[in-house]
Amino acid sequence: MVKAPPPPPKPAPRPAASDVLLPESRRVSILDVRDGVCRWIAGDPRLDPTACGHPADLGSPYCPAHRTVAPRSREAAYVPAFRKAA
């Protein structure tokens, strides 16, 4: 009798937003945001459209802190790290 293969391992849970220390925003105007700068919107975008402004991770629009709390697509969540580097 042949057994079915075990299900693939589930990805590690992402930390809750309350568990991550977020840096204070540099409040960069969204008109002044350039490549390599975190684009996380700080505060209410209708009242104060500014971005975080800290250095962004390579290949990401967010700094390391905001990257941990940013939503990801379901497909991106299941791409192994070694495939992302290619």
Q: Tell me if 14 is assigned to some domain.
A: no
Q: Is the pLDDT at 83 greater than 80, yes or no?
A: no
Q: Residue 59: inside a domain, yes or no?
A: yes
Q: Model-level pTM?
A: 0.59
- Residue 78 counted as domain residue: no
Does the pLDDT value for residue 54 go beyond 90? Answer: yes
> Would you say residue 45 lies in a domain?
yes
Nearest-Å Rg of the Cα atoms of the chain is 17
Greater pLDDT, 43 or 33: 33
Domain range enclosing 29: 23-70
34-58 CB burial, b ≥16 within 10 A, e <16: eeebbbbbbeeeeeeebbbbbebee
Q: Which residue has the higher pLDDT, 50 or 13?
A: 50
Tally the residues of the chain. 86
Residue 75 falls within a domain, yes or no? Answer: no
Contact, 63 vs 52, CB < 8 A?
Answer: yes
Q: Per the structure, how many domains does the chain have? A: 1
Domain assignment present for 4? no
Quick one: pLDDT at residue 63? 93
Residue 38 within any structural domain of the chain = yes
In a domain, 62, yes or no: yes
Q: What angle do CA 28, 31, 56 make, to 5 degrees?
A: 50
